Chain A
Amino acid sequence: DAGVIQSPRHEVTEMGQEVTLRCKPISGHDYLFWYRQTMMRGLELLIYFNNNVPIDDSGMPEDRFSAKMPNASFSTLKIQPSEPRDSAVYFCASSTTTRTDTQYFGPGTRLTVL
C-alpha cells in the first residue's frame, strides 16, 4: 500500500525563483496537510485541505506561499519568489475523515534557497 508521495525530495534554488512542491496523498484519504520543519520552530502546520477545499491557511507565512489541491490525488505548495529563510523541510501528510487526528507523513522535500 503506497504511502504519501512527495516530489522532489531535494530542491536547491536561488533567491527569487519560483519553487513548486508536490504531494500525492494516500488513496482514500480526504484530508491533506502541508507542514514545514525547521530546527528553530519544529513542525509547523501551514495549510490543510478537506475534499480538495482549503480549510485553514492561517499557518501560511506570507502571500509568497500558495497551495492548491486540484483533485483528490494531487496537491502543490508554491513559493514565489523564494527567499533564503524559506529553507526548510516541507512535509505533506494525509488522513481520513473519521480520524483526522491520525496523520501519515510523506518523506518530505528538503528545500535550500541560496
Chain B
Amino acid sequence: GQQLNQSPQSMFIQEGEDVSMNCTSSSIFNTWLWYKQDPGEGPVLLIALYKAGELTSNGRLTAQFGITRKDSFLNISASIPSDVGIYFCAGPPGNAGGTSYGKLTFGQGTILTVHP
C-alpha cells in the first residue's frame, strides 16, 4: 500500500530553536495534513494543505504542500516546552477513489523533545 516516510524519526532540541520535519511519498497526494499527538491523547489537527505549492501558517507553525505533490514539510519556530509530542503527516493518496475515498495514510511520526 501507500507509504509516507517522515524524517527525522526523532529530534532533541533546546527551547527557542527552530524545528523542521518533512514527509515524502512515492505517490502523489491530494491533501497533506499535519497532526500532533500528546501522550495519552488523540492526534490533533494542526494544519491542512489542499493545493500544490500552498504555504499555510498556524501561529509558530508553517507547513507547505510540495509542488510535486509528493512531499510536505512542517516548521516550528522558536520552540517551547509544550511543543513536545509526536508529529504525524497524513493524507489520502492521489488515486484514492471508491471505498478508498477518505482513507488516510499516516507517516510513522517524528518524536520531538524540547529541553528547557
Contact = CB atoms under 8 A, between A and B. Distances in A.
User: Which range contains the number of B residues in contact with the other chain?
Assistant: 20 to 34
Contacts, number: 59
Contact of B33 (A4, A33, A102): A102
Contacts of B102: 31, 33, 48, 50, 55, 95, 100-101, 103
Contacts of B91: 101
Contacts of B82: none
Contacts of A91: 42-43
Contact of A104 (B40, B45, B88, B101): B45
Nearest to B32: A101
Interface in A44-69: 45, 48, 50, 55-56, 58
Contacts of A102: 31, 33, 45, 48
